[in-house]
Amino acid sequence: MNMKKISKLGVCLVGALAISGFAQDYSGQDLNMSFRDKRIDGFDFSDAKAKKNVTDFQRSAGEKPNFQGAQLPEVSFRNAVISEANFKNANLKKVTISGADIRNSNFKGADMEEADLYRATLLGSQFPNVNFKNARLDAMKVADETDFSKVDFTQASVMDVDLTRADLSKANLTNANFSRSLMGEVNLKKATLVKTDFTACNLIAANFKGVDLINVNFSKAGLSQANFSGVEFQNVNLQEADLSLTEFDDVDLSKTQLQKAKFAQSTLSSMTFKGQDLTGVVFDKGAVKKSNFDKAKMNKTSFFDTEVSKCEFRGTELTKAVFDGAYIKKNIFDGADMDKANLANSTIQQTDFIGTQLNGASFAGAKLENVRFTNAKMKNVKIDADTKMQNVDFSGADLSDAKIEKFTAKKVIYDSRTKFPAGFEPRQYGFTKPGEKAAEVVVQGNKKSSVTDDAMPKKKKKKKKKHSDDDDE
């Protein structure tokens, strides 16, 4: 082999090794070249400047390249495979990282405005203080607990992303769209949430502590066990959201949309829902205390097996509402519309239904004590043999066409204005007028009811005819 051929071979070999394996220093230089399909292991691009339409990293590969402070606007990293890269404080405006696999890398402080990260794999990479304004991050893959603290997501699209336990504290999410993303246990403490879209997101146990929610959309979102302490709600959409197992204490939800929201197994205390539309809201198996629902729309709302105490429902629409199995104590339902409400199997104590509409309502199996139905409209109401009443006042109530079986009754009051079904004998059912001796009925399971003597009309005893001695003769 002659010397010329050996020399050419050596040059080619050195060039190939330089491109494929040996780290090269481009720091501070103008990058008037393409690195497409090349190895960039350990290359130093710090403070380097890309040339538009020339510099390219598509399908490049390598470990530990350094891009710190580099000016790389509009450069493409599409389908690149890079790990442990340093992009700290780099200018990555409008870069394309779509489809790339860039793992365990540091993007701290990078400017990624309008960047395209669609379907990028970024497992183990961190993004504190990054500018993601108008960026597309849909369907990208990041690891649990990824750091997005103090990130600017203004108008960014972050749909269908798994952000479980991510740190978004102090981040700006104004006008950002996180629809359908998985954000369980995410930290949003002191974040800016204005016109943010969380439609159908999983936000279970998310931390919103101290956040002002302004024009935020949580429709159909899962917010079970979320922390809303110190949160301000301003025009927030919570329609069909799941807020189960969540505590709300003196939280103002008056400026929210709550139709069909779910508060199952939640505790709500000192809340104000006055005049709100709560149609179809679910409060099942929870506790609602010291709250105001005056004049709210609550048709088909459910309080199944719920403790409802010291609440106000004056003039509230509760048509077909469900209180089955509920514990209802010291509440006011005066003037409410509760037509066809289900109060079966409930326990009702020290509660007023004065002037309430209860037409077609069911009290089957309910236990009522110290309850007032004064002037209530109760046509077609259902009271069965398992119902128990003590100290209940039906003065002026309209019970016409009511379906009343013999039930356990003690000190159940009615007056001359009370209307009963045709042919109904109130005293035989334990009803007593003021001034009369109390009637009382006790029903024991499937046994026949026993009515006290005072309740039943007394039969006149026939006098026995005396026989004289003369008659015997």
What percent of the chain clears pLDDT 70, i.e. is strictly above it? 89
Q: How far is CA 303 from CA 4, 117, 204, 420, in A?
A: 93, 45, 22, 29
d(CA 53, CA 4): 37
pLDDT at 215 over 70: yes
Q: How far is CA 305 from CA 263, 282, 388, in A?
A: 13, 11, 18
pLDDT at 239 over 50: yes
d(CA 236, CA 450): 57
Q: 394-417 as b/e, with b when 16 or more CB fall inside 10 Å?
A: bbbbbbbebebebbbbbbbbbeee
Which residue in 191, 59, 77 sits closest to 87, CA to CA?
77
Q: What is the pLDDT of residue 13?
A: 43
Q: What is the pLDDT of residue 20?
A: 46
Q: SS3 letters for the chain?
A: CCHHHHHHHHHHHHHHHHHHCCCCECCCCEECCCCCCCECCCCECCCCEECCCCCCCCCCEEECCECCCCECCCCECCCCEEECCECCCCECCCCECCCCEEECCECCCCECCCCECCCCECCCCECCCCECCCCECCCCECCCCCECCCCECCCCECCCCECCCCECCCCECCCCECCCCECCCCECCCCEEECCECCCCECCCCECCCCEEECCECCCCECCCCECCCCEEECEECCCCECCCCEEECCECCCEECCCCECCCCEEECCECCCCECCCCECCCCEEECCECCCCECCCCECCCCEEECCECCCCECCCCECCCCEEECCECCCCECCCCECCCCEEEEEECCCCECCCCECCCCEEEEEECCCCECCCCEECCCCEEEEEECCCCECCCCEECCCEEEEEECCCCCECCCCCCHHHHCEECCCCCCCEEECCCCCCCEECCCCCCCCCCCCCCCCCHHHHC
Q: What is the pLDDT of residue 410?
A: 95
Greatest Cα-to-Cα distance within the chain, rounded to the nearest angstrom: 171
pTM: 0.85
Q: What confidence tens digit (pLDDT) does each residue in 252-285 have?
A: 898 999 999 999 999 999 999 999 999 999 999 9
Q: What is the pLDDT of residue 443?
A: 84
pLDDT at 146 over 70: yes
Give the position of tokens 């105001």: 292
Q: How does the average pLDDT of the chain come out, rounded? A: 91
Q: What is the pLDDT of residue 184?
A: 97
Q: Which two tokens stand for residue 151?
A: 């990130």
d(CA 207, CA 190): 9
How many Cβ atoms sit within 10 Å of the Cβ of residue 72? 24
Q: What is the pLDDT of residue 2?
A: 55
Q: Which two tokens stand for residue 312?
A: 């106000």
pLDDT at 357 over 80: yes
Q: What confidence tens digit (pLDDT) does each residue in 30-59 have?
A: 999 999 999 999 999 999 999 999 999 999
